[in-house]
Chain A
């Protein structure tokens, strides 16, 4: 874990509990400001602020229907953004089309349908680098080294693989362009319990190699224990924000969201 909590959070942290206020940083890689967003006319998010700094590992937790996934979809231009801004690397990407976002250095692994099931494993990875003129063999090699099972399965149709392997392929696809920030929507969903730890270890590995991670997780205890900072989202609004450890230690957060 990096020391992302040295400046803002500690200085302004409330004594003996998680922050109720949201901080904004000047040096953010991803900066979501006052975001209102939803689907069609239905508004899900209200005035959401969120930051991810270079190399940071940030988690969003919260009850079902809190709008956690909607934050990610909004970053990728897949929702109706009603108000607020989204900046990445200092550039306003609020109105960028979904097919253009990838050029900015963002990778996204949606929760469901995150692989091309009728394409082979190798072809899925090639699609991850679609925007390049040539298929980057070294990037494919890197993904195979990170997830060796994918090398064994490279010719296989992706849809025939197990849940854990699919999740690895989806991450591999998103890593093909070596993004600055990787968005992961519930990477442990649907995995057998013994695979969940392994998946989190792999995400730690990706973060250790310098890629910032923004992750939505229902497995809140595990996720907060591993991340640098966490946001608790409730009813589409920011509720708490602090270091993962501080959120885990906070009585109120524990009682309301972590089951005691």
Chain B
């Protein structure tokens, strides 16, 4: 009886919803193989710990950077393709401050070279001893300036480009934002050159080993910093949205703009705050990514934009919490999929997961366009 019931239910699921059924079967197989790999030592526990840690880092970055993208979508109603270059712009702006301060305002190298981040190979970040432990003041200033740079860029661009076409369709704004993205990116290339520069003194980052069952997982100060900054900002944003008048007004406007207007909510001011918060988080995320990753280059934000979009869509575009959760899913998929896939395919795996989630839940994990 019991067996045939189960069998019948299984058959019904396959007939009625084959996509979901296949996903369930594949997920179970992967889980079994995961246990097998750990059991026979094909993947060591410590290796898996490293994957988990890397995925978490990447995921937090995607989440933090994705919040702004989701906010512009829900409040300004368009997919902002220049968001990636706000990330790059913020990272460059913050890093200039770091170079100048770590370089003793010109005492350890020409101030011009410092401000161009050693364009052409004149100054290197490792010489300047850049790192959270070695130059904490320069890094803290860098975080702040990174946010400020991205905010300034976003507000100037909004005033010059987006505000005049605020009433146009989302497609017009999307295509315009691609133009803005290219302009920003090539301006950065023109000023700072196209090299991929190492910016931190990677040997000087304090590291601890966390014992795992069959080895250790190393954890360095830059990783911890990324976690602290991202989680701190996410918690702050949560407080802002749920507890403050501004946050509630932002949620109200993303929920129903017409009603927000007749309630007396000043919509243009809310738009300004949306840019400030979204771009600020993007700039800080970009800077922290560079500190974590150790390198900086002109199209960094652009190549990160696609997984960030994937994260935001996966989480339910328009939702802040969806962006964070989506970021973690994409980040963890990218690093853990290496247990089954060649390293060149991990990015593809992340997008594949996005497609699978959307097949099952087309509106994303956090449904609808609610910022809440």
Contact = CB atoms under 8 A, between A and B. Distances in A.
Interface of A: 76, 78, 97-103, 108, 110, 113-119, 123, 126-128, 130-131, 173
A116 B262 contact: no
Interface string B258-297: 1111111111000000000000000000000000000000
B271 to A, nearest CB: 12
Contacts of A128: 263
Nearest to B266: A99
Contacts of A108: 262
24 contacts: A76-B262, A78-B262, A97-B261, A98-B258, A99-B264, A99-B266, A102-B262, A103-B264, A108-B262, A110-B259, A116-B256, A118-B251, A118-B368, A119-B248, A119-B255, A119-B372, A123-B251, A126-B248, A127-B249, A127-B260, A128-B263, A130-B245, A130-B263, A130-B265
B173 interface: no
Nearest to B268: A99
Nearest to B319: A118
Interface in B339-372: 368, 370-372
Most buried by B among A108, A119, A131: A119
A102 B263 contact: yes
Contact of A101 (B248, B252, B262): B262
Given A116-B251, A116-B259, A126-B248, 19 more contacts: A78-B262, A99-B262, A99-B266, A100-B264, A102-B264, A110-B262, A114-B259, A115-B259, A117-B256, A117-B370, A118-B368, A119-B252, A119-B372, A127-B248, A127-B263, A130-B245, A130-B249, A130-B263, A130-B264
Main secondary structure of the interface of B (DSSP, over half): helix
B49 to A, nearest CB: 38
A130 B255 CA distance: 15
B262 A118 contact: no
Most buried by A among B258, B263, B265: B263
Interface residue tally on B, bucketed by range: 20 to 34
A126 B256 CA distance: 15
A123 B267 CA distance: 18
Contacts, number: 68
Interface in B81-118: none
Nearest to A123: B248
A118 B254 CA distance: 9
A113 B263 contact: no
Contacts of B265: 99, 127, 130
Interface of B: 245, 248-249, 251-252, 255-256, 258-267, 368, 370-372
A131 B264 contact: yes
A117 B261 CA distance: 16
Contacts of A127: 248-249, 252, 260, 263, 265
A132 to B, nearest CB: 9
Contacts of A119: 248, 251-252, 255, 372
Contacts of A103: 264
Nearest to B254: A118
A113 B257 CA distance: 10
Which 6 pairs across A and B sit closest by C-beta, in order of nearness?
A118-B370, A102-B264, A131-B264, A98-B261, A116-B255, A118-B372
B258 to A, nearest CB: 7
A31 B255 CA distance: 32
Contacts of A76: 262
B292 to A, nearest CB: 34
A119 B241 CA distance: 11
Given A99-B265, A130-B245, A113 B259 contact: yes
A114 B263 CA distance: 10
A103 B252 CA distance: 19
A173 B372 CA distance: 20
Contacts of A116: 251-252, 255-256, 259-260
Most buried by A among B245, B256, B262, B267: B262
Contacts of A113: 256, 258-259
Contacts of B261: 97-99
Contacts of A130: 245, 249, 263-265
Contacts of A173: 263
Nearest to A183: B262
Contacts of A114: 259
B325 to A, nearest CB: 17
A88 to B, nearest CB: 14
A257 to B, nearest CB: 29
B249 A117 contact: no
B23 to A, nearest CB: 29
Nearest to B248: A123
A147 B368 CA distance: 29
Most buried by B among A97, A116, A119, A123: A116
Given A127-B248, A130-B245, A130-B249, A117 B255 contact: yes
Contacts of A131: 264
B255 A118 contact: yes
A128 B265 CA distance: 9
Given A99-B265, A173-B263, A78 B258 contact: yes
Most buried by B among A76, A126, A127: A127
A155 B313 CA distance: 28
Contacts of B249: 127, 130
Contacts of B256: 113, 115-117
B153 to A, nearest CB: 28
Contacts of B260: 116, 127
